[in-house]
Amino acid sequence: MKNQYPSLLLEKAVCEFAKLPGVGNKTAMRLVLHLLKQEQAAVEAFGNSIIQLKREVKYCKVCHNISDSDVCNICSNPKRDSAIVCVVQNIRDVMAIEATQQYNGLYHVLGGIISPMDGLGPKNLEIDSLIERVAQGDIKEVIFALSTTMEGDTTSFYISRRLKDYPVKLSVLSRGVSVGDELEYTDEITLGRSIINRMPYQINEL
Amino acid sequence: MKNQYPSLLLEKAVCEFAKLPGVGNKTAMRLVLHLLKQEQAAVEAFGNSIIQLKREVKYCKVCHNISDSDVCNICSNPKRDSAIVCVVQNIRDVMAIEATQQYNGLYHVLGGIISPMDGLGPKNLEIDSLIERVAQGDIKEVIFALSTTMEGDTTSFYISRRLKDYPVKLSVLSRGVSVGDELEYTDEITLGRSIINRMPYQINEL
């Protein structure tokens, strides 16, 4: 089939947008034509926002979260409890936990989880830097807040082995039936584990 | 709720992406973090592709399709039948009809359809330039290939009135296209047949 695009510039832009995850050629075309209808300044703002982010983005040298400065707002906040570190896969998880407003400790962003299928081993992740943070001695508790998948469990297990000689408490997000879920629609593994890991009944916890 | 983004640059980029149609904050975040993982050069290529398109895009001065030159590839192709002009709403419709490989005439891109609700009247569309093209006398047939909606029908009707004193045959896509459907989502076979089976334009058939 011959080239369907009336303009090489258009084709280039559509191809770039179609590289985005979950964006096919038709959606890419729709997005590009939408942008083309906007003002020149708006299009420049759009294009430059991502270029500027990529050029100037920094990662907190303590927790490796995205930051505008060398140490992020969370790590540098004296009101946060620096004795607790929550280990997460990526910055979206930081934002998800922050949105709950239930956690006042610090974070450590691994940048992924151990996944041999994707060629991601411990050396590709911020694990050594986590061990160093713990080795400094101020951290009392490490919370594993990784995906409840084989890869997430493997990563938690690997880190727990690396930390076994340090006097630090290890904990993991509680697993069980989601709040608001019907029991009959909960998957068998979750339900089975939630029976095994049943907790003391306390009215104010529910 | 306090600002959830760990970086102002990140927030800016996410806000820009979230302005795109059909893209919410979560999707915008996913897209931005995906781009952030790519190489510097790839991100620059992405951002610049849309900026360059907006800066340098041209529109064919004959049919108003997007083009890299003053006259587009279709209008300047001597193998195409310049006696037939297919009137479409936008360039996606040109691409959709081209993809059927059933049409060998030229196009005229209106840049929209008459839609008082959206503040689009005949003066906002490339209708005068269509009349001028017809007035030059080389065009024997005008095909209306607009959406089968109230607005599309109104636009066809309006143009047909403007053209009533010219010796030009008016036709319309055969109604194999489902009423209420947008052209760009019509399957190629239906769209191709509707061009081949185009019918004489008569107001009471609409």
Q: In this complex, which of A5, A52, A98 lies closest to B9 when CB atoms are compared?
A: A52
Q: In this complex, which of B7, B38, B98 lies closest to A57 when CB atoms are compared?
A: B7
Q: Which of A99-108, A193-202, B144-153, B160-169 has the lowest mean pLDDT?
A: A193-202
Cβ contact, residue pair B74, A6, below 8 Å? yes
Residues A50 and A72 in one domain: no
Q: Among candidates A106, A113, A195, which has minimal Cα distance to A151?
A: A113
Asked if the structure places residue B46 within a domain, the reply is yes
What is the CATH number for A21? Answer: 1.10.8.420
Residues A118 and A91 in one domain: yes
pTM: 0.74
Residues A148 and A80 in one domain: yes
Residues A79 and A35 in one domain: no
Give whole-number Cα distances, A109 to A90, A175, B131, in Å: 6, 21, 63
B 151-180 residues with CB below 8 A of A?
none
Residues A33 and A97 in one domain: no
Cβ contact, residue pair B47, A47, below 8 Å? yes
Q: How many domains does chain A have?
A: 2
Asked if the structure places residue B66 within a domain, the reply is no
A92 touches chain B (CB under 8 A): yes
Asked if the structure places residue B61 within a domain, the reply is no
Cβ contact, residue pair B53, A36, below 8 Å? yes
Cβ contact, residue pair A53, B13, below 8 Å? yes
pLDDT score for A3: 58
Domain span at A110? 66-172
pLDDT score for B3: 57
What is the CATH number for B92? Answer: 3.40.1360.10
Cβ contact, residue pair A51, B29, below 8 Å? no
User: Taking CA atoms, what residue in B is nearest to A94?
Assistant: B6
Residues A71 and A102 in one domain: yes
Cβ contact, residue pair A31, B40, below 8 Å? no
Task: Place A204 in a pLDDT band, splitting at 50, 70 and 90.
Answer: low
pLDDT score for B136: 92
Q: Which of A82-96, A167-181, B44-58, B81-95 has the lowest mean pLDDT?
A: A167-181
Give whole-number Cα distances, A171 to A86, A87, B206, in Å: 9, 10, 69
B contacts of A40 (beta carbons < 8 Å): 54-55
Asked if the structure places residue B85 within a domain, the reply is yes
Q: What average pLDDT does this structure show over B78-101? A: 91
Q: What average pLDDT does this structure show over A47-63? A: 92
DSSP symbol at B138: -
Residues A75 and A49 in one domain: no
* Tens digit of each residue's pLDDT (9 = 90 or more) over B45-62: 999 999 999 999 889 999
Asked if the structure places residue A197 within a domain, the reply is no
The yes-or-no verdict on residue A16 having pLDDT over 80 is yes
pLDDT score for A46: 94
Query: By percentage, how much of chain A surpasses pLDDT 90?
Result: 56
Asked if the structure places residue A28 within a domain, the reply is yes
The yes-or-no verdict on residue B70 having pLDDT over 50 is yes
pLDDT score for A1: 38
pLDDT score for B7: 87
- Which residues are paired to A107 by β-bridges? A86
Asked if the structure places residue A201 within a domain, the reply is no
Residues A73 and A166 in one domain: yes
pLDDT score for A179: 74
B 14-53 residues with CB below 8 A of A?
15-17, 19-23, 27, 29-36, 38, 40, 43-53
Distance CA B21, CA A31 (A): 7
Residues B19 and B90 in one domain: no
Task: Place A202 in a pLDDT band, splitting at 50, 70 and 90.
Answer: low
pLDDT score for B177: 67
Asked if the structure places residue A202 within a domain, the reply is no
pLDDT score for B71: 92
Residues A34 and A128 in one domain: no
Q: What average pLDDT does this structure show over A43-54? A: 94
Task: Place B2 in a pLDDT band, splitting at 50, 70 and 90.
Answer: very low
Give all strands of the β-sheet with A169-172 in edge-to-edge order. A105-109, A81-88, A141-144, A169-172
Residues A154 and A118 in one domain: yes
User: Taking CA atoms, what residue in B is nearest to A52?
Assistant: B9
A96 touches chain B (CB under 8 A): no
Residues A50 and A70 in one domain: no
Mean predicted lDDT score pLDDT of chain A: 88
